[in-house]
Amino acid sequence: MGCLFCEIVEGVRDAHVVLDVPEAVAFLDTRPLFKGHTLLVPRVHYETLTDLPVEEVGPFFGYAQRLAGAMEEVLGAAGSFVAMNNRVSQSVPHLHVHVVPRNWKDGLRGFFWPRQKYDSGTEAAEYAARLAAAFG
């Protein structure tokens, strides 16, 4: 059984891509907490943060930082939630960072998270294009 995120990185599986650079790929989560919820993955398959070579940590999180800024700048969010799991609660065993747009009183409390759906593939593509525009 292959890795779902590796298939997205390789272009074998469709995704709404936000960022595609030599080191990393970012794409919309298919089960977003809020519209614009993006997953950032290293292009090379590493299962957890501890597997990521130390020299790659800074550049990788630089993209997470830029995505967090795009949530506010492009989507008009009041802030963002940036998180990752390592093994426990890690739905896909490929290192990934969740970058989620946040607004006051958006309903996200503790770890009981509401999930939203895009109205259509077109709406998801529009969100991906708006976020991708923040990277020029």
What is the SS3 assignment for 68? Answer: helix
Question: pLDDT of 64-79, one tens digit each?
Answer: 999 999 999 999 999 9
* Containing structural domain, residue 28: 4-133
Question: pLDDT of 30-87, one tens digit each?
Answer: 999 999 999 999 999 999 999 999 999 999 999 999 999 999 999 999 999 999 999 9
Model pTM score = 0.84
Specify the CATH number for the domain of residue 68.
3.30.428.10
Determine whether 96 is an active site residue: yes
Q: Which amino acid is at 125?
A: A
Q: How many domains does the chain have?
A: 1
d(CA 53, CA 136): 27
**From 16, 37, 94, 96, active-site residue:** 96
The answer to whether residues 67 and 60 touch, using CB atoms and an 8 Å cutoff, is no
